[in-house]
Amino acid sequence: MEKVITRQILVGKVKVGGRTPLVLIAGPCVIESEAMCLSLGARIKEITTKLAIPYIFKSSFDKANRLSIDSYRGPGLKKGLEILWRVKQKLGVPILSDVHCQGEINEAKEVLDIIQIPAFLCRQTDIVVAAAKTGKPVNIKKGQFLAPWDIAPIIKKIESTGNCKVIITERGVSFGYNNLVTDFRALQIMRQFGYPVIFDATHSVQMPGGKGSCSGGQREFVAGLTRAAVAFGCDGIFLEVHPRPDLAPCDGPNMVDPKELEAILRQVKRIVSVL
């Protein structure tokens, strides 16, 4: 398999892609409280510092794409960004979060180091272009309904603004109803477009709508998929982490307990060392 070296993107002080070390993007699915974000972020940072893995904190201020009207969405734009700002200042790590409409972008860009376009919105030209015009790195979550080569036109939308700070995240592809599978060929195909590709191991084990009014998941497969993605070739790993996944208000079935995180990352480091 041909080794692909992607463009290097600077996110705060963290370098993503190129010949730089594998990066970790991790945090809870959605902001539950400032205290929880700070304590969990500090715990993840402690682990990644020990293992010399660059770390970017992620969490959503609003999960606007929930299946049920009753699903927990988060604290909203204003309060959520205030919490993310304090996480950024107190922990000294770059911040990633997602936007769901153009109206959120101007405020979000003042706090976020990476603006993420959710998978279900990745083909929406106006929001992609508006995010790109901020000049911030833009992380495109590849829709589970897209082929890997469908990412190329989305990259061109971002580049049309003069912004070449693009990151692509693979998160599985729909396979029948309420199920996702991972085609690791997508990692190599998308890296050939020249930009860093991240593998989202936790959303790849999600079972969309699998519980009727909310999604299910199979977190027991997260570690294996992570190892496989790193062996196949990617520029970073995206993991949603929660101190008590079974009690999480959103995406609990596919989130990882921080107690398991260090073991997964140690395995990843060993794989990288022999590539």
Q: Return per-residue pLDDT of the chain as tens, 275 residues.
A: 567 899 999 999 999 999 999 999 999 999 999 999 999 999 999 999 999 999 999 999 998 887 778 788 999 999 999 999 999 999 999 999 999 999 999 999 999 999 999 999 999 999 999 999 999 999 999 999 999 999 999 999 999 999 999 999 999 999 999 899 999 999 999 999 999 999 999 999 998 876 666 677 789 999 999 999 999 999 999 999 999 999 999 888 899 999 999 999 999 999 999 98
Is the separation of the CB atoms in 88 and 82 below 8 Å? no
pLDDT at 131: 98
pLDDT at 1: 57
Question: Cα torsion at 88, 29, 43, 26 (round to 10°)?
Answer: -70
CA–CA gap between residue 81 and residue 87 (Å, rounded):
10
pLDDT at 251: 86
pLDDT at 2: 62
pLDDT at 210: 64
Delineate the domains of the chain, giving CATH numbers in brackets.
9-270 (3.20.20.70)
CA–CA gap between residue 196 and residue 238 (Å, rounded):
13
pLDDT at 214: 67
Run of H or E including 172? none
pLDDT at 252: 86
Hey, what amino acid is at 233? G
CA–CA gap between residue 105 and residue 15 (Å, rounded):
23
- Helix 34-51 and helix 77-91, axial crossing angle in degrees, nearest 10: 40
Is the separation of the CB atoms in 51 and 266 below 8 Å? yes
Is the separation of the CB atoms in 155 and 173 below 8 Å? no
